[in-house]
Structure 1
Amino acid sequence: MTGVSAAEWGLPTRCAPWNVSELLAHVRVVIAWLPGMLAAPAPSCAEVSAVEYYRPDDRFAPGTNAARIALAQDHAAEQLSGAALADDFNATWQQVDRLCQAEPEGRVVRTRHGDPMLLSEFLLTRVVEVAVHGLDLADALGREPWLTSDAADLVQGLLLGPDGAAALEKLGWGQLRFLRTATGREPITREEASDISRLGIRWLTLG
């Protein structure tokens, strides 16, 4: 994102009404929840998995979505330029990485929605956010997807379980196409949707 031109920061994305700068600001916001979560008292036990985090409740209601949109737009507007926004995102993820590396295995956190989760499970939801919105940003900018194989494997595992690779091979789909389709980023036919459902996919509710 550090190589994005001034004009490109204003390009529209599929995540309307966000443009490129606002979508990157959103990705920064979803990472930036972690310092406060780690500073808060740890719940006694985890009750929600990464899959359950994406359940269809009020976290994806119109009012919550509107607040999510406004928060990203406000953060983007606070930055003097797209380059400053990219630098801010870089500093944010590095801070979060240092904090998470210092936590013990089995650390439990409470999300802003009130979910007690293993830190590792919540971080998996952050990989989902970075991965799928990375596809959105690359598409908006007309670039080749920069999704890493590690991130793709984690999101695929979340959606299909440990046998996902074998299931995809039977379907004859590439990993990138599957991830685009399973997260609503590529249209499919009714027959293709039926094929995906037979894989035992864990459908996620995405705002």
Structure 2
Amino acid sequence: MAGPPAATSRTPTGRAVLREVFALSGGTGRGSVTIMEQWGVVEVFGLEAGRLAEAMVGVSEAEWGRPTRCAPWRVRELFGHVRVTVGRLPGMLGGEAPAVAEVTAVGYYRPDARFDAGTNAARVSTAQEHASVQGDGKALVEDFELAWRRAYEMCLAEPEGRVVRTRHGDAMLLSEFLLTRVVELVVHGLDLADALGREPWLTSEGGGVVEALLLGSSGTAGVRGLGWDQVTFLRKATGRAPISLSETEAVERAGVHWLTLG
């Protein structure tokens, strides 16, 4: 399946975007890639969404029914959840832009009502309902493909510094909200790969953005000193792999920002 639409001279993809992530993720923006240009985050979003779509092509109907660590979701419902999270972008872009951004990507993942029992239950049922109406796995992938491409194209058309309102009421820079969508794609991409018994397929750009969000630009060396590669760190920092007390202390010294994930 094809990746993001062809880049313009203003929107390079691949390694150029990854260099942009690490060049601009430090300083006053530690823990958030706030000062990364909006187009760069849009490109990373497109790369990671395209990779996920490619990975899910050819998944058998039996595999769509496999359990995931995100119980009670099976593979089809977890993929449906990712589709729902991506599909929120067009509605937000069609709404009135708040005057000022107030919440960063790290702040979005704070432990408040957005992750309480009632909201989580609604999140579960919404994903189940979306997956159930799509029919087979092929339809699920095609629906996701249409959704992410529409969101990608709409985001590319937005001016730098665009502010959006989330469904939770947060006023955020579009670039910051897009970082949360990359988190969803990367973290649940790991969940889906594990459920399917496959090697992780995340892009280096997507993984780099999430790592920069969690650590800033200065914390990566400390994590690598533990002998962890990028995927190992992401698994441990998001609860996808066990982390010992000594490891927790080490990553906290590196400046990790723990995210509340539903």
C-alpha distance in 1 between matches for 2:229 and 2:143: 34
1:72 aligns with 2:114: no
Aligned to 1:37: 92
Aligned pairs for 1:8-19 within 5 A: 8-19=63-74
Q: Residue 249 of structure 2 aligns to which amino acid in structure 1?
A: S
**Quick check: 1:43–1:116 contact (8 Å CA) kept in 2?**
yes
Q: Residue 188 of structure 2 aligns to which amino acid in structure 1?
A: H
**Quick check: 1:181–1:188 contact (8 Å CA) kept in 2?**
yes
Question: Deviation of residue 58 (structure 1)?
Answer: 0.2
**Quick check: 2:189–2:201 contact (8 Å CA) kept in 1?**
yes
Aligned pairs for 1:15-164 within 5 A: 15-164=70-219
Q: TM-score, normalising length from structure 2?
A: 0.78
Of 181, 184, 197, which aligns to 2:252? 197
**Quick check: 2:189–2:200 contact (8 Å CA) kept in 1?**
yes
Aligned to 1:174: 229
Question: Deviation of residue 167 (structure 1)?
Answer: 2.2
**Quick check: 2:83–2:147 contact (8 Å CA) kept in 1?**
yes
C-alpha distance in 1 between matches for 2:156 and 2:244: 43
- Segments of 4+ in structure 1 off by > 6 A? none
C-alpha distance in 2 between matches for 1:55 and 1:145: 27
C-alpha distance in 2 between matches for 1:15 and 1:170: 30
Q: Residue 121 of structure 1 aligns to which amino acid in structure 2?
A: E
Question: Deviation of residue 3 (structure 1)?
Answer: 1.0
Question: Deviation of residue 5 (structure 1)?
Answer: 0.3
1:2 aligns with 2:61: no
Question: Deviation of residue 198 (structure 1)?
Answer: 1.5
Deviates further, 189-198 or 135-144: 189-198
Question: Deviation of residue 197 (structure 1)?
Answer: 1.6
C-alpha distance in 1 between matches for 2:246 and 2:96: 48
**Quick check: 1:46–1:117 contact (8 Å CA) kept in 2?**
yes
Question: Deviation of residue 181 (structure 1)?
Answer: 0.2
Where structure 2 has 5 or more consecutive residues not aligned to the other structure, the ranges are 1-55
RMSD: 0.8
Summarize deviations over 1:152-180 as a string: whole Å, max 9, x none. Answer: 10000000011132222333321110000
The 3-state SS of whatever aligns with 1:117 is strand
The 3-state SS of whatever aligns with 1:77 is helix
Q: Residue 85 of structure 1 aligns to which amino acid in structure 2?
A: L
**Quick check: 1:156–1:164 contact (8 Å CA) kept in 2?**
no
Where structure 1 has 5 or more consecutive residues not aligned to the other structure, the ranges are none
Question: Deviation of residue 82 (structure 1)?
Answer: 1.1
Q: TM-score, normalising length from structure 1?
A: 0.98
**Quick check: 2:110–2:260 contact (8 Å CA) kept in 1?**
yes
Q: Residue 15 of structure 1 aligns to which amino acid in structure 2?
A: C
Q: Residue 119 of structure 1 aligns to which amino acid in structure 2?
A: L
Question: Deviation of residue 64 (structure 1)?
Answer: 0.1
- Structure with more relative contact order (C-alpha pairs < 8 Å, separation 6 or more): 2
